[in-house]
Chains A and B, each alone.
Chain A
Amino acid sequence: MEQLNYILKRTLQIIPVLFFVTILIFVMMRLIPGDPASVMLGDKATPELLKQVQARMGLDKPYLVQYLIFLRNLLSFDFGNSLLYVVPVSQLLAKRIVVTLTLTIMAAIFVIVISFPLGYLAGRKKDRLPDQIIRTSALVALSMPQFWLGILCLLLFGLKLRWFPVGGWGSDWGEHLRSLVLPAFTEALATSALMIRNLRNNVVDVARSDYVDFARSKGLKESVVRSRHIVRNALISTVTLLALRIGGMLGGAVIIETVFALPGVGSLMVQSVFSRDYSVVQAVVFMFASLVLVVNLITDVSYSFLDPRVKLE
């Protein structure tokens, strides 16, 4: 019951934040010089034609009116039409969100597969060779820019070894997944490094704690001490960190999708910014913001399940 109340309260708190986000995106888009009509028509358009197109797009109305229309549509979950493609934004998004979500999920799986075993190993072999190798590699991974790493992966695994496609999305799910491996790996590497460091330190702290010694003093098998006492306690904050990073990885999709030419929401946003497709950019940013807020909420709630000491209030 308390948990339900908490979730309700937090959900209500999301609303003002999202409202602020709408103002921010609306103003920022209008601050960029040039509007969709002039971008579409190019330099040689006559002023009459420009006015005509602007009127058709509803850009001749005062800013406040434009904003209120945007807000009104939003309340009925209508993102309006793309100014460029002249199809509903929701239709554009529906296809592309699948790409971005699959990419993020695959990246999250990579993060878990890479960081959990390595973080644990480094923690248990503190200051010895495996720990030093893992720590140094994590530092290197963390300091590489993502787009550069993506290009390196493309060159090696795409062009040279031809294990994975160089870009695009393919036509069936087998191809889809194959084409996501490189971008998901690129996306996952920096976050993995962060998580390895976090998990390693947690394992080091937990392994020397009294309750692990106490568990051992009961005569428990080493495997039980490891799984029930060391790993479980060490993972609490690491899992929380992962949940927060998933929000960050959604944002990272903007770069990754552009590098790997994936038809996801991120690359849609980049294109739409260039073509000043106001309604699309507004919809995408709004969606990203909502996703991040929801992920944060889930993180906070899940934290109370992982650690009984945390009370939701």
Chain B
Amino acid sequence: MDPILEVAELKTWFFAKDSTVKAVDGVSFSIMQGETFGLVGESGCGKSATCRSILRLVHEPGRIVSGSITYKGQDLVKLSEEGMRKIRGKEIGMIFQEPMTALNPVLKIKEQIFESFEGMRMSTAQKYERAIELLRIIGIPTPEVRIEEYAHQFSGGMRQRAMIAIALAAQPKLLLADEPTTALDVTIQDQIIKLINSLKTRLGMSVLLVTHDLGVVSQMCDRVAVMYAGFIMELADTITLFSEPRHPYTYGLISSLPSGKERGARLEPIQGAPPDLGSLGPGCPFAPRCRFVGELCTRTMPEMREVSPGHMSRCHYIEKMAGIKGLIEPEGRAS
């Protein structure tokens, strides 16, 4: 399968007065045609900045410093603003975490869907018909009524659906989903996950899913990259990641999940807190919190190494972790 998007050595830094926050510091991954690729990590690990960099929606004082993002043979980092505009919406769409703030409060849903058709040769009647159809597909009841309403008249789940409808109106080939379920309660979360999964197959899209929720990852993603402090720490297909984690951070994340197998078992949190991205030392950023830490870790940054084909880990002591089991058996599905 061919990659639809290739990110190589991407660096997105934020330039504050007295320090430079390296939110994304040399991230590389590719998303295959028709695949859902997950970016997981704690808040502030750079996953959202990576996602926003792809559409070049990074705010001041942030800037893409170097690296390339290749989509259909074009480097989006070097593309003109006008060229980028043609990519946005039509080729790559994006949905945001909080639909209440991502929908314009003073424009009707109709106007916001119509905007997605801008630049296409469509009459108003065609736009209207297409918009109604979209809302129906997305699962909004009585779309003829709802389309005339404003975002504040929608419930949280409906708002998220409306936002997905707007993002998908121009039929992008790749959908960037920045924490699409975080602001929703659990039952609605499940509906939205199923909706995105079904739309993906129906429209033949690829999806980049940014989330901190490993449960969502297990339900949606084919492959996952785990990010920490601006770096990708481990990259593998979802089953491998959950069954044979080969990075201490991934292992920590998985161990902190409730397994549901043993009654009364305690959750194991990762000790400590994420580091300040403005003042990282030369070593591995996870070292202070790592239970496998060795003397190399504080001195040099480990390189990405292949554990098995398609499974990469950024750790000096991958060998120490051999034989460690994750949440599931290698052949099973995530629970």
Contacts and interface: CB of A to CB of B under 8 A. Distances in A.
B130 interface: no
Interface in B71-128: 81, 85-90, 93-94, 96-98, 101-107, 115-116, 118-119
B170 A218 contact: yes
Given A309-B150, A309-B152, A219 B106 contact: no
A204 B101 CA distance: 15
A171 interface: no
Contact of A233 (B105, B115, B163): B105
Given A218-B115, A224-B118, A211 B87 contact: no
B96 A215 contact: no
Interface in B178-211: none
B104 A219 contact: no
A233 B150 contact: no
Contact of A217 (B59, B93, B104, B119): B93
B148 to A, nearest CB: 11
B128 to A, nearest CB: 17
B135 to A, nearest CB: 16
Contacts of B101: 209-211
Contacts of A307: 105-106
Contacts of A218: 88-89, 93, 115-116, 118, 166-167, 169-170
A306 B150 CA distance: 13
A210 B167 CA distance: 13
Given A309-B150, A309-B152, A217 B105 contact: no
A213 B53 CA distance: 12
Contacts of A228: 107, 115
Interface in A198-227: 208-211, 213-222, 224
Contact of A219 (B85, B102, B107, B163): B85
Nearest to A209: B101
A211 B89 contact: no
A214 B163 contact: yes
A211 B162 CA distance: 13
B69 interface: no
Interface string A227-270: 01100110010000000000000000000000000000000000
A308 interface: yes
A125 to B, nearest CB: 11
Interface residues of A, number: 24
Contacts of B138: none
B217 interface: no
B94 A214 contact: yes
B137 interface: no
Contact of B104 (A208, A221, A229, A306): A229
B280 interface: no
Contacts of B104: 211, 214-215, 229, 233
B55 interface: yes
Nearest to A229: B104
Interface string B34-68: 00000000000000000010010101000000000
A220 to B, nearest CB: 6
A112 B87 CA distance: 37
A219 B105 contact: no
Contacts of A215: 104, 115
A211 B170 contact: no
Contacts of B150: 308-309
B100 to A, nearest CB: 9
Nearest to A221: B85
A208 B58 CA distance: 10
Contacts of A220: 85, 89, 115, 118
Residue of A218, A222, A228, A232 with most chain B CB atoms under a 10 A cut-off: A218
Contacts of A224: 115, 118
Given A208-B59, A210-B98, A214-B94, A219 B88 contact: yes
A213 B57 contact: yes
A309 B107 CA distance: 10
A215 B167 CA distance: 10
A217 B106 CA distance: 18
A208 B103 CA distance: 13
B104 to A, nearest CB: 4
Nearest to A218: B89
A210 B96 contact: yes
Given A210-B98, A211-B101, A307-B105, A217 B57 contact: yes
B170 A217 contact: no
Nearest to B59: A208
A306 B88 contact: no
B12 to A, nearest CB: 15
Nearest to B58: A213
B234 to A, nearest CB: 29
Contact of A214 (B87, B96, B119): B96
17 contacts: A208-B59, A210-B96, A211-B101, A211-B103, A214-B163, A218-B118, A218-B170, A219-B90, A221-B85, A222-B81, A222-B85, A224-B115, A229-B104, A233-B105, A233-B106, A306-B106, A309-B106
Given A213-B102, A215-B115, A219-B119, 7 more contacts: A213-B57, A217-B88, A217-B93, A217-B94, A220-B118, A222-B85, A233-B106
The 5 closest A-B CB pairs, nearest first, are A219-B89, A219-B88, A218-B89, A210-B102, A217-B94
